[in-house]
Amino acid sequence: MSWLSAFITANLIGIGSNFDNCGTGIAYGSDKIKFPHWVNAIVNAIGFCTALLGAYMGEVISHYITFTEASWAACVVLICIGLFFWYSKYLHPRISRTRKQIGIQKPGWKQGIVLGFALSFTNVAVGFGATVSNASTIWVTAVSIAIWGYIMIWLGNVIGIGILARMLGKYSSFIAGLLLILVGVHQVIG
């Protein structure tokens, strides 16, 4: 495999494995929440580590956790985050005595770690699958997954804040929660 072919393959794997990151960025952006660059870096550092882990330890890990189980774990976490968007905007003000909304805050390091693992469960399998055919692309593939993951969250957040937040108005929290739930479902069926 030539270096150009390996480079193109690694970038296609990086892009393909990070559409869920774009959906997450759009979800936060449509609720007018700017996703900080340093949190994005945490999310994708975890993605890089899990892709490497998958590449080096995929055979061992596959004995303990299947791709389906990893997909379901990611699905559950992302759906819970989406449901929290809905709860904080629509349910909490109705059941709370203070009638205040819980504000979805700008993601911090804790949310970055949770999102990093939620969005990276499948990176273990992707890293393993991508390097089975050519072990020399392990680092290139892992770096590509991390870089494209960062770009996709940033791009989704820019689109969400710049376009969708203005178009959706008061329905932005509903759409943000729905997008995160759909990203979670995509982890299982996609």
Most confident of 2-6, 9-13, 55-59, 81-85: 81-85
| Cα–Cα dist 33/10, whole Å | 31
pLDDT, tens digit, for every residue of 22-80?
888 888 888 788 889 999 999 999 989 888 877 777 656 666 777 787 778 778 877 88
Q: What is the pLDDT of residues 164-187, one digit of tens each?
A: 777 777 777 787 788 778 877 877
**Alpha-carbon 5 to chain mean position:** 27
d(CA 42, CA 48): 10
Cβ proximity of 11 and 178 under 8 Å: no
**Cβ neighbours, 10 Å, residue 78:** 28
- % of residues, the chain, pLDDT over 90: 7
Say if residues 18 and 186 touch (Cβ distance below 8 Å).
Answer: no
Residue with the bigger pLDDT between 11 and 168: it is 11
- Output 28 or 98, whichever has higher pLDDT: 28
pTM here? 0.69
Q: What pLDDT is stored for residue 92 in this prediction?
A: 73
Q: Are 63 and 161 in contact (CB under 8 A)?
A: no
> What's the rounded Cα separation, in Å, for the pair 74 and 69?
9
Using alpha carbons, select from 149, 153, 183, 189 the residue that is nearest to residue 79: 183
